[in-house]
Amino acid sequence: MDLKIVGADGAPLSKEKKIVGLDGAAIETNELDKDAQGGTEQMKYGLHERLPKELLEQFQIICSRVRELDEDKKKILWLHDLPLDPESAHLKEPENQDKFDKLVCVSQWQMQQYASYLGVPYGKAVVLKNAIDPIEAHEKPDVKDGINLIYHTTPHRGLEILVPVFEQIAKMYENIHLHVYSSFDIYGPEWSERNEPYQPLFDAVKEHPQMTYHGFKPNSEVREALKSAHIFAYPSIWQETSCIAMMEAMSAGTMCVHSNLGALPETAANWTYMYQFNEDPQAHANAFGQCLIEAIELFNKPDKKPMLDQRLHMQKVYADSFYSWATRSVEWKGLLESLLEAKS
């Protein structure tokens, strides 16, 4: 991807400015995400790769954090965060809502949260779910050689539950191995200091013979790792508004074991192994541990393989169809064209 930093007039901008140009089409960025490679960044660059430049040039599409508004363009606020995020507080005022032609949410759950907490009218918003490139069909490693678990999201979302639970379960099963792809470095070097509180967890992973710490890796490498993963172990304590990590795991045919917090039930769409979230860390760990043991047992029983293979295949078919960019880009194109028609 060839990026060129430009202003609205085509002149070069300093890194503090807000607009990045991709082949001439403006992509909004800001001081917090200019070096990031997280889910929101995947979405905004993915969208600009797939829609016509001449269509995009008529819009200012802002992901979550509003800085400057272009009065000459139709404006869309693409919400990826929670309504209680300070960056979202301005939407409590109707006059600020009216500055945008449409608010785009990434899940029905998220849209309901914005309506409940900030009074955003349902008629002002639309849900366009996040998207992925489907992971190509592949064969998983034979579980006779071991069951691979993966955690591939930032540490604050549930690593503090996962590591101690896995340490206990590893005493029961010698054939399981956990791969941890987790670091705030995904958001750029300025975020690295946020890793410090989680360093003891990272060290525990590094020191355990049945765990491997990979730190931050590009999404392409994580997608390759998912092809070898049997279980996505995600004891989420974070209110996900969507969860791209789960979408990619589902596409990889990886069993997802997770809590029912936030929009995770909506994203999972009844294809995954889900348990009741609990605010109490010990109760949460117990519920997650029991669900994870049940998942491991399914892989350890050869007679369950036909059923398990069929279920995970159907999960992949669903994810590849419903969460693919091929589907989502058509929806985005339809939205933008409808807003232009409304203007005319």
Enumerate domains of the chain plus CATH numbers.
Answer: 4-131+324-343 (no CATH), 143-322 (3.40.50.2000)
User: What integer best gives the mean pLDDT of the chain?
Assistant: 91
Work out the burial of residue 13: count CB atoms within 10 Å of its CB; fewer than 13 is exposed, 13-18 middle, 19 or more buried: middle
Spatial separation of the C-alpha atoms in residues 315 and 297, rounded to whole Å: 19
**Residue range 20-27: average pLDDT?**
52
In this predicted structure, the answer to whether residue 31 has a pLDDT above a threshold of 80 is: no
Confidence of residue 26 (pLDDT cuts 50, 70, 90): low
Spatial separation of the C-alpha atoms in residues 90 and 310, rounded to whole Å: 47
**Residue range 138-165: average pLDDT?**
97
Question: How many other CB atoms sit within 10 Å of the CB of residue 2?
Answer: 6
What does the pLDDT read at residue 344? 58
Among the residue ranges 19-28, 80-89, 142-151, 195-204, the one predicted with the least confidence is 19-28
Confidence of residue 37 (pLDDT cuts 50, 70, 90): confident
Taking only the tens place, the pLDDT of each residue in 282-336 is 999 999 999 999 999 999 999 999 999 999 999 999 999 999 999 999 999 999 9
Number of H helices, E strands in the chain: 12, 13
Joined tokens for residue 330:
């058509």
- Helices 159-169 and 281-300: crossing angle in degrees, nearest 10, is 50
DSSP letters for 167-212: HHHTTT-TTEEEEE---GGGG-GGGGGGGGGGHHHHHHHHH-TTEE
Work out the burial of residue 329: count CB atoms within 10 Å of its CB; fewer than 13 is exposed, 13-18 middle, 19 or more buried: middle
Confidence of residue 2 (pLDDT cuts 50, 70, 90): very low
Taking only the tens place, the pLDDT of each residue in 218-249 is 999 999 999 999 999 999 999 999 999 999 99
Confidence of residue 3 (pLDDT cuts 50, 70, 90): very low
Confidence of residue 14 (pLDDT cuts 50, 70, 90): very low
The length of the chain, given as a count of residues: 344
Which residue from 152, 154, 243, 245 is spatially nearest to 197, judged by alpha carbons? 154
What does the pLDDT read at residue 17? 41
Spatial separation of the C-alpha atoms in residues 125 and 110, rounded to whole Å: 11
Taking only the tens place, the pLDDT of each residue in 76-89 is 999 999 999 999 99
In this predicted structure, the answer to whether residue 27 has a pLDDT above a threshold of 80 is: no
What does the pLDDT read at residue 29? 76
What does the pLDDT read at residue 105? 98
Joined tokens for residue 207:
């020191």
